[in-house]
Structure 1
Amino acid sequence: MAWRDGRASISRLLLFMASIILGIAAVVSIQLFSENVQQNIARQSKVLIGADFIIDSRQPPNDRVQAIIDSLGADANEVNFPSMAAFPKNGAAKLVQVRGMKGNFPFYGTLETEPAVAAAEYQQKGGALVDATLMLQYDIKPGDSIKLGVITLPITGAIHSMPGRSGISTAVAPTVLIPFRFIEQTELLQLGSRKEYQYFFVAPEMDLDQLEETLDPVLDAENADLDTHTSTSRQIGRSYGNLGKFLNLAAFIALLLGCIGIASSVHIYIKEKLTDVAILKCLGASRKQTFFIFLIQIAAMGLIGGVVGTVLGVGLQQALPFLLEEFLPFDVQMSISLPPIFMGLLLGVFMSVLFALLPLLGTWYISPLEVLRVSEEQPVQSKKARVFTFGAILLFILLFSLWIFKDWLFALVFVVGIFVTFAILAGISALFIRAIKSYFPTAWGFTARTSLLNLFRPNNQTTVLIFAIGLGTFLISTLYFTKDILLAKTALDNGPDNANIILIDVQPEQREDVVASIKLTDSEVIDNLSIVTMRMHSIKGKLVNEIRKDTSSTINEWVLNHEFRTTFRDSLIASESVIEGSWVEEVKPGEGVTISISESLAEDAKIGVGDPIVFNVQGVLMPTTVGSIRKVDWTRLQLNFMIVFPKGVLEQAPQFHVLTTHVSDNARSAALQRELVHKFPNVTVFDLRQIYTVIKDILEKISWVINFMAFFSILTGLIVLIGSVRTSKYQRIKESVLLRTLGARSKQILRITALEYLFLGILGSLAGILLSLISSQLLATLLFEESFVPSGIPFLLFLPGIVMLVLAIGLSNIKSVLQSPPLEILRKVG
């Protein structure tokens, strides 16, 4: 019976099946991809860092750290730092990451260069290897030269790939690799330089977890760090685990939309079958038999949908590495594992049965007498059965959310958010229906009145279509608004009062000359700050070394190991405000030193106003007291500091300077950078416009990935929409044929249908956009801490586009009514 009845209803069942295919395809592809990423991370962890483990430090290793390095026997070492590089061939200048290497690094993976021999010969020949993209950008070729500080080196090759290089970081500061012996000759490492010393070790047989457990606390106490390939693997795994959570979330949303499609399609399908069920019961069929006839149909369609979705997901996973290659530090070798495939097949059957169960219960409680009744009332279902079904659906969504987020709180919040959104859309549809009933426009013409009646009479599709249209529009609009918020954070105010060039590592004897060079380009100095580096020696009377050993301490570890760059001034700047205590402008001789700290530092260091802190200022201990706590807007283009001293304290301390200016165009920026590199090779220039261009490009790529993943949810929503409208086709055909039989013209039927779906399209899409405005405002305020100015695109593009789509699908339903005689159509659908 299930097979016979299914053959006659195959078109409606196929639409039901289509609702879940894309959701399952998304889940299967992302699960396969996530497993492949984790396997590749484990397999390539040594290649990612080029060694078995690394010891690194922000300063030359002290005696204790050097003794540890010597005892372990470093196989290679380097010092790396950002600096300006000049190309004498064309006079260009560019911010680069200089890596001075000693030894045959890398030990795992490959240093790929062009020509290939350059990787092995650059140290012996005393040349430089330069990032291939940078060489292409400035038309530099092997054999040309590069100037770093006061020395000029020949370029022996271009770097195509290298362990330890991040694609995103190299976009801001491309890599330049030189022999370690030339670092001192460059004269680039001066007071304030942001440098890092790294020592690479090969020890394939060593227990690295034990080594990390033993040495890491010792090195942390000496302001050094140990990174093993296994810890790096775990760290990268966590990072891309978050990416996997997002991808799974997008797939889960597609699944939920598919579930709505299942429930709505089966609801309409079973509603039309209730008379057949009553007839079967009159002929002696039991409750269980009639229930299982349709349950078998649904389960079979779910299994077919699971198979198709799984096959599609296997094919789709091959595309994900190309979409995400910008964010992966390694090449992903794809393979197929069985668990995600079995999960896809099981999800197809389980979801289909679970979300079809509630409408299927109608077959259980239908009375045989219904065959003799003409009633639109639904059979009364058991309250226990409905509660059990709703509970099973809720439990499924909660457990699936927990599997994605791995956190009960996040899963619970997500589920609550889903049901709040559903409840709002259901409430909107209910209020809309009530408003039409209460304020029905009896003075309107027959066509308009009939279209409004269709929205609340029996067999109406108002709630189902508002759900499908509203959710699809909500998702699209939220993604669009979120992209605008992210890109707004990178917007650069090009006004003359806002700095777009930052000069750092300016030494005291260079300060006036650098100011003069800036003024030669018709630019003005905006900020001229002194920077003093220091570390915390004690906090609230307790030594930092003792706090490190205290396992009960709640102070964030970075505070104990961080080298703070502080400044001194007598006033606040636009990006900060005092939220506790009072600002001290200047300290007179003999007075105690009162400092101001940022709100974030106060929270991480567990300190407040009045607490004492002793700083180690390059060997000199300086007692201070916290006088105020500032709220700092770190997103503003200002030189912000965690710690600010008043005037009269640090003027004589060893220091370097940071200057900022504004240049009006690229030509002036390039001229200033060439001038500074020529006169002051140690000064590093950050062109914020170039950096923000890179960030904007990265965000646009992320946005593209988000939109691609949202495509599954959106397309599933459209299929649900099509299925919901098309499944009601036969009921609409009967009604339209009756209207034609009673004398209605084709134009009238067309207008009635068009107006009905026009009302639904406008209401559903408008509700979705308005909900997306609320969610985007919450995201902007709570997550991004950014002002939200909504774009008009969703109202001008998404709203009319979705309305037209709904209208086109609705009108396609009555095409056969307008083209065929009424009796012929009634025979087909009767």
Structure 2
Amino acid sequence: MAWRDGRASISRLFLFMASIILGIAAVVSIQLFSENVKQNIERQSKVLIGADFIIDSRQLPNDKVKAIIDSLGADAYEVSFPSMAAFPKNGAAKLVQVRGMEGNFPFYGTLETEPVTAAAAYQQKGGAVVDATLMLQYDIKPGDSIKLGVVTLPITGTLNSMPGSSGIGATVAPTVLIPFRFIEQTELLQLGSRKRYQYFFEAPEVDLVELENTLDPILDAENADLDTHTSTSRQIGRGYANLGKFLNLAAFIALLLGCIGIASSVHIYIKEKLIDVAVLKCLGASRKQTFLIYLIQIAVMGLIGGILGTMAGVGLQQALPFLLEDFLPFDVQVSISLQPIMMGLLLGVFMSVLFTLPPLLGTWFVSPLEVLRVSEEQPAGSRKMRILTFGAILIFILLFSFWIFKDLLFALAFVVGIFVTFAILAGISALFIKAIKSYFPTAWGFTARTSLLNLFRPNNQTTVLIFAIGLGTFLISTLYFTKDILLSKTALDNGKENANIILVDVQPEQREEVVASVSQAGLNIMDNLSIVTMRMHSIKGKMANEIRKDTSSTINDWVLNHEFRTTFRDSLIASETVIEGNWLEEIQPGEKVQISISESLAENAKIGIGDPVVFNVQGVLMEATVGSIRKVDWTRLQLNFMIVFPKGVLEQAPQFHVLTTYVPDNARSAALQQELVRKFPNVTVFDLRQIYTVIEDILEKISWVINFMAFFSILTGLIVLIGSVRTSKYHRIKESVLLRTLGAKSKQILHITALEYLFLGILGSSAGIFLSLLSSQLLATLLFEEPFVPSGIPFLLFLPGIVILVLIIGLSNIKSVLQSPPLAILRKVG
């Protein structure tokens, strides 16, 4: 019976299957991809760093750290730092990441070069291996030379890839690999240089967990760190956890929209079958039999949808590594995991049955007398059964979100957010219906009054359609609004009032000459700051080493290990605002030193106004108290500092300088960089326009990925919308035929239907945009801390576009009514 009845209704349930297929395809593909990323990180953990473990330090290791390194027997070591490189062949200059290497690194993975022999020979031959993109950009070939500082080296090969090199980071500062013995000769490492020493170890038999537990606290106390390949893989996994959460979120939304599509489609379908159920009961069928007929139909459709969705998900996951290759520091080898596939198959059946139970239970309580009744009301049913059903749905969503996000609090918050959104949409629908009833425009014409009456007549679809239209619009609009917030957060003002060239590592004896060189190029110095490096020695009278050992301390570890670059000045800059205490411009001899700290440092170091802090300024201890706390806008491309001293304190401390200027075009920027590299090889030049170009490219790729993944949610939302409108077709046919039988013209029926769907389209899409405005404002205020300026696209494109789509689908429902005589249609639907 289920097969016979379902075969005649297959076209009505086609969109029901489409909702399942899209939702499950999104979940399966993303779960498979997440499993592949996890497996590849574990499999390639040694290859990612090229060694079993690494000891690294931002300064030359002290005697204690050096003794630990010697006892373990480092197999290779390097020092890396950003610097300017010059190419004598064409006079070009470029910011690069210099890696001075000693030893046969890497131990795992491959140093891929052209020619292949360059990887093993560059140290013996005393040459440089240069990033392939950089070689192509400046038309450099093996055999040409590169100048680093005061040393000129032959280029022995092209570097295609190496362990520990980030693709995005290498875009800003491409890697140049040279023998370690040339580092000192370059004269690039001077006061203030941002260098990193790394010692690589090959020890596959060592217990890394025990090693990490034993050595990491000791090294932390000496401003060094231990990284094992297992800890690195965990860090990488955590780094991509947010990406995974976003992808899972997109899949979960698609699945929930699919569930709504299932519920709305079956809701209408079962309503149309109630008379058939009553007839079956008159013929002797039991409650259980009639219930199982439609339950079997839904379960089989869910199984088919689950199979097709799982197959689509398996195919789709092949594309995800290609889409996300720029964000992953390793190659993803695609494989098929059993768990996501089984989950997809089970989800198809489970969510189909669960989300159709509310309308399906209506068949249980249908009375045989319904055959003779004209009432359109659905049987009331059992209140207890309804509560149990909705409770099961709630538990399913909670458990599924917990399985997706692996965080109970996040799952709870997400579920609460979803039900708040549903409640708001339901409330808007209920208020709209109540407003129509209370303030019905009796003076309107027949067609307008009839279209409004249809919105609260028996079997109306107002709530379902507002759900579908509102959720689809909400998702699309929120996507665009959030993207605008993120883009505005990283926007770069290229006006002349903002510097776009930063010169760092300028030594005191070079300061005046660098200023003169910039001025001779017809450019103005915008910032001329002195930088003093220091570390935290004690906080509120407690030594940093004691705080590290105190397991109950809430002070962030990076505060204790960080080398702060501070400055001194007598005024605030545009990106700063004092929120506590008083700004001190200058200190007279003999007065206590008062500093100004950023809000973020105050929170992480757990210090406030009046708290004492002692700094280690390159071996000299300096006592200070917190005089003010500043709110700093770190997103502005200005020289911002966590710690600022007043004038009269650090003038005689060892320091280097940072200068900024504005260059109007690429030609003058290149000329300035070439001149500075020639005169001052140790000075590093950051061209913010080049960095911004990289950031903009990354944002475009991220935006593309967001759009790609949001496509499933949006498409599912549209399927739900189409399904919800189309499934009301059969009731509308009967009503329209009755109107025609009573003498209504085709034009009148067309106007009634058009106005009804126009009202629903405008209300649903407006509600969705309103909710997206609200959610985006909350995101901007609480998460991004940015002003929110809404985009006009949702208002100009989505609102009219969705209204037109609803109109087209709604009017297509009555096409057959307008083209056929009433008697013929009554015979079909009777």
The 2-side partners of 1:331 and 1:49 are apart by 14
Are the counterparts in 2 of residues 132 and 159 from structure 1 also a CA contact under 8 Å? yes
Q: In the alignment, which residue of structure 2 is the partner of 1:298?
A: 298
Match of residue 743 from structure 1: 743
1:646-683: CA deviation from partner (whole Å, max 9, x where unpaired): 11111111000011111122222222111111111111
Whole-Å Cα distance in 1 between the matches of residues 543 and 329 of structure 2?
40
Whether 1:658 aligns to 2:663 is no
Q: Which residue in the other structure is 2:388 paired with? A: 388
- 1:263-282 superposed Cα distances (whole Å, 9 cap, x missing partner): 11111111111111111112
Name which of structure 1's ranges 742-751 and 179-188 shifts more when overlaid on structure 2: 742-751
- Per the alignment, residue 468 of structure 2 pairs with 468
Secondary structure of residue in 1 paired with 2:240 = helix
Query: Could you tell me which residue of structure 2 aligns to residue 342 of structure 1?
Result: 342
Correspondence for 1:516: 516
- Paired with 1:738 and 1:326, the residues of 2 have a C-alpha distance of 61
How far apart are residue 815 of structure 1 and its match?
A: 2.1
Q: 2:373 is matched by which residue type in structure 1?
A: R
Task: Return the alpha-carbon distance in structure 2 between the equivalents of residues 349 and 4 of structure 1.
Answer: 20
Cα distance, 1:341 vs structure 2? 0.9
Specify the alignment match of 2:455 in structure 1.
Answer: 455
Aligned partner of 2:442 in structure 1 is 442
Alpha-carbon distance, 1:303 to partner: 0.9
| 1-structure distance, mates of 2:5, 2:188 | 82
Indicate the residue corresponding to 1:232 in structure 2.
232
Most deviating of 481-490 and 730-739 = 730-739
Q: Which residue of 2 aligns with 1:57?
A: 57
Q: Aligned residue for 1:104? A: 104
SS of 2:535's equivalent in the other structure is: strand
Q: Which residue of 2 aligns with 1:794?
A: 794
Q: 1:13-92 maps to which residues of 2 (within 5 A)?
A: 13-92=13-92
- The alignment status of 1:648 with 2:648, answered yes or no, reads yes
Once residues 14 and 44 of structure 2 are traced to their aligned partners in structure 1, the CA distance between those partners, rounded to angstroms, is 44
- Partner Cα separation in structure 2 for residue 439 and residue 374 of structure 1: 28
Shift of 1:106: 1.0
What's the secondary structure of 1:12's corresponding residue? Answer: coil
Give the 5 Å matches for 1:515-534. Answer: 515-534=515-534
Contact 2:248 2:405 in 1 (8 A): no
1:480 CA drift (Å): 0.8
The one-letter code sitting in structure 2 at the alignment partner of 1:306 is G
Query: SS state of the match for residue 449, structure 2?
Result: helix
Q: What CA distance in whole angstroms lies between the structure 2 residues aligned with 1:518 and 1:410? A: 53
SS at match of 2:121: helix
Structure 1, residues 130-168: CA drift from partner, whole Å, max 9, x if none?
111122222222222211111122222221111101111
- Counterpart of 1:614 in 2: which secondary structure? strand
For residues 35-434 of structure 1, the aligned pairs below 5 Å read: 35-434=35-434
CA deviation after TM superposition for structure 1 residue 467, in Å: 0.8
- Equivalences, count: 830
Q: Which amino acid aligns with 1:352?
A: S
Do the aligned partners of 1:172 and 1:694 also contact (CA within 8 Å) in 2?
yes
Matched residue, 1:691: 691
* Partner amino acid, structure 2, of 1:674: Q
CA deviation map 1:563-606 (0-9, x unaligned): 11111111222211222222222221122211111121111111
Greater CA drift, 360-369 or 432-441: 432-441
Distance between the aligned counterparts of 2:755 and 2:134, measured in 1? Answer: 59
Q: Distance in 2 between matches of 1:340 and 1:477?
A: 30
Whether the aligned pair in 1 keeps the contact of 2:377 and 2:459 (CA below 8 Å) is no
Give the deviation of 1:400 after TM superposition: 1.5
Q: Whole-Å Cα distance in 2 between the matches of residues 669 and 690 of structure 1?
A: 11
**For residue 824 of structure 2, what is the aligned residue in structure 1?**
824
SS in 2 for 1:629: strand
Per-residue deviation, 1:502: 1.0
- Structure 1 stretch 648-657 or stretch 762-771: which is displaced more? 762-771
TM superposition shift of 1:800: 1.8
8 A contact 1:75–1:202 mirrored in 2? yes
Partner secondary structure for residue 252 of structure 2: helix
Q: In the alignment, what sits opposite 2:682?
A: 682
CA-CA distance at 1:705 after TM superposition: 0.8
Mapped pair 1:587 → 2:606: no
Rounded to whole Å, the distance in 1 between the matches of 2:327 and 2:451 is 51
Per the TM alignment, residue 452 of structure 1 is displaced from its structure 2 partner at its CA by 2.3
Contact 2:85 2:149 (8 Å CA) reproduced: yes
What TM-score do the two structures reach when normalised by structure 1? 0.98
Alpha-carbon distance between aligned partners in 2 of 1:738 and 1:335, rounded to the nearest angstrom: 58
Equivalent residue number for residue 576 of structure 1: 576
Aligned partner of residue 284 in structure 2, secondary structure? coil
* In structure 2, distance between residues paired with 1:749 and 1:117: 81
Checking the alignment, whether the CA contact within 8 Å between 2:466 and 2:764 is kept in structure 1 is yes
Measure, in 2, the Cα distance between the counterparts of 1:437 and 1:136. Answer: 72
* Deviation for aligned residue 1:472: 0.6
Contact 1:594 1:627 in 2 (8 A): yes
Q: Distance in 2 between matches of 1:62 and 1:660?
A: 34
Quote the Cα distance in structure 2 between the aligned partners of 1:606 and 1:621.
21
SS at match of 2:13: helix
Corresponding letter in the other structure for 2:508: P
CA RMSD of aligned residues (A): 1.3
Cα deviations across residues 711-742 of structure 1 (Å, max 9, x unaligned)? 11111111111111111111111222222223
Match status 1:604 vs 2:587: no
Deviation at 1:100, TM superposition (A): 0.7
Equivalent pair of 1:127/1:155 in contact (CA under 8 Å): yes
Greater mean deviation of Cα atoms: 603-612 or 654-663: 603-612
Equivalent-residue separation in structure 2 for 1:706 and 1:7 (angstroms):
39
For residue 667 of structure 1, what is the amino acid of its counterpart? A
| CA distance in structure 1 between the partners assigned to 2:201 and 2:773 by the alignment | 53
Secondary structure, aligned partner of 1:648: coil
Letter in 2 for 1:302: G
Structure 2 length-normalised TM: 0.98
Tell me the amino acid that sits aligned with residue 400 of structure 2: F
Distance in 2, Cα, partners of 1:696 & 1:537: 40
Q: Which residue of 1 aligns with 2:621?
A: 621
Query: What is the match of residue 780 of structure 2?
Result: 780
Q: Secondary structure at the match of 1:796?
A: helix
Provide the rounded CA distance (Å) in 1 between the counterparts of 2:798 and 2:385.
40
Query: For residue 8 of structure 1, what is the aligned residue in structure 2?
Result: 8
Aligned to 2:479: 479
Q: CA deviation at 1:184?
A: 0.9
Deviations 1:290-310 (A, max 9, x none): 111111111111111111111
Secondary structure of the 1:457 match is coil
Partner-residue secondary structure (3-state), 1:315: helix
Shift of 1:461: 1.6
The answer as to whether partners of 2:79 and 2:195 remain within 8 angstroms in 1 is yes
**Which letter maps to 1:699?**
L
Contact 1:14 1:301 in 2 (8 A): no
Q: Which one-letter code corresponds to 1:201 in the other structure?
A: F
Whole-angstrom CA distance in 2 between matches of 1:8 and 1:166 = 58
> By how many angstroms is 1:18 displaced?
1.5
Give the C-alpha shift of residue 63 in structure 1.
Answer: 0.8
1:539 aligns with 2:534: no
Q: Secondary structure at the match of 1:486?
A: helix
Corresponding position of 1:505:
505
Retained in 2: the 8 A contact 1:305–1:348? Answer: yes
The secondary structure found in structure 1 opposite 2:527 is strand
C-alpha separation in 2, matches of 1:131 and 1:769:
48
Gaps (5+ residues) in structure 2?
none
Q: Report the Cα distance in structure 2 between the residues aligned to 1:615 and 1:441, rounded to whole angstroms.
A: 76
Aligned structure 1 segments of 4 or more residues deviating by more than 6 angstroms: none
Q: Distance in 1 between matches of 2:817 and 2:157?
A: 73
Tell me by how many angstroms 1:36 deviates.
1.0
